[in-house]
Amino acid sequence: MTLTAKIEVNGTTVELPVVEGTEKELGIDISTLRGKTGAITMDWGYGNTGSAESGITFLDGELGILRYRGYPIEQLAESSNFLEVSYLLYHGELPTSAQLDVFKSKIVYHTLVHEDMRSFFNAFPKDAHPMAVLSSAVCALSTYYQQGDESTQEGLELSMFRLMGKLPTIAAWTYKKSLGHPYIYPDNDLNYCENFLKMMFSLPTENYVPHPDIAKALDVLLILHADHEQNCSTSTVRMVGSSKANLFASISAGIAALWGPLHGGANQAVLEMLEEVVASGKSTKDFINSVKDKDSSSRLMGFGHRVYKNFDPRAKIIKVFADRVLNLLGVDDPMLEVAKELEETALRDEYFVSRKLYPNVDFYSGIIYRALGIPVNFFTVMFAIGRLPGWIAHWKEMNAHPKNRIGRPRQIYTGETERDFIQLNDR
């Protein structure tokens, strides 16, 4: 049976088709509404607007479900690795062993950045925000690779391999620039996360061997961040890509969108909250009480989620690794102690439990990054590395869809009505 919806506007009734997804989601196709009635729909922040049909990620916020290409995030985090998940997101299926080997080798081949880009990094001030550098550097890659034809499978894959290979190098060099340390070149004998940790934390004067458990925790974090449906940055990548902008420019725009504190900066906000608690000298109990006080400006960051109305499924996974990393490193950090106390208190407090304000992935990821010695303003860069394969998969899917067209939202004009121009001397 074909589903339809009826809407009446100023006495005109129109029948609109209803689109049904494979998980029984329903969407009313209003693409003909304006033509038939002259009206548009209003949806601030697009919170109830579907902009695409996508086969990449399914999430159910009420039930706490997240799946990539149908595979539960819990299974992928336990049994897969980041590059295997990247292959899955891009190609739609899990790779064979041979396919994964080829995929990895092509990414490894592209880990070096053009040597001229050393001057690019040197041009930024030492205290430049790393997300500004990351976005700029990714966009600049398009000036080095102008010959690629991304309308072909081969051309798009080449851009994908270049981005997957080079983004960790660009990120690590951004960090080294901020410290005044020499840039560390990739070590292609290491796996993806081990190589990144070495570029971040090693020095030419000493031998650095990434701990496998630390690399595994980072790998899981990247998997958990790899995609999350039509969020702000993914929608930005799609919007920019819909104009036929190249993949580098589209990803650069996605990085800029991710930078915002309401999106990728959420885990940074968690650490800033913890810093404030420690600096204030308040007990955890006093801070929790101030959060519950409606007249207080205190906010409990890293709890609850705009989409998940239940426990964030990613948080359950990463909590295990957060505990493991803290025990492994034996970090003595008052901020991390406060984080543990806040977690334990909020999970028992009826005020938060009744409102389903559980710790989300940003709460635990910030704790892990802090323990690893990654600076707070670099947290969103880590998020960007993880989200990269999801962005690329969406760019590819959008441009291959037969209904694809340039993104162009409508508006309701609320400005002045027509009026006559007044000459300058008469104003």
CB 360 within 8 A of CB 346: no
CB 328 within 8 A of CB 274: no
**Residue in 225, 305, 312, 394 annotated catalytic:** 305
Active site residue 60: no
Report the Cα 382 to chain-centroid distance in Å: 9
- CA proximity to 271, closest of 226, 231, 245, 301: 301
Told to judge if 263 belongs to the known catalytic residues of this protein, a careful annotator would answer no
Q: Is the Cβ–Cβ distance between 278 and 334 less than 8 Å?
A: yes
Q: Are strands 65-68 and 71-72 parallel, antiparallel or unpaired?
A: antiparallel
Asked if 112 contacts 168 with a C-beta cutoff of 8 angstroms, the reply is no
Contact 251, 138 (CB under 8 A): yes
- Cβ(127)–Cβ(184) under 8 Å? no
Q: 110, 225, 362, 394: which one is catalytic?
A: 362
Rounded CA-CA distance 290/117 in Å is 48
Q: Which residues are catalytic?
A: 305, 362
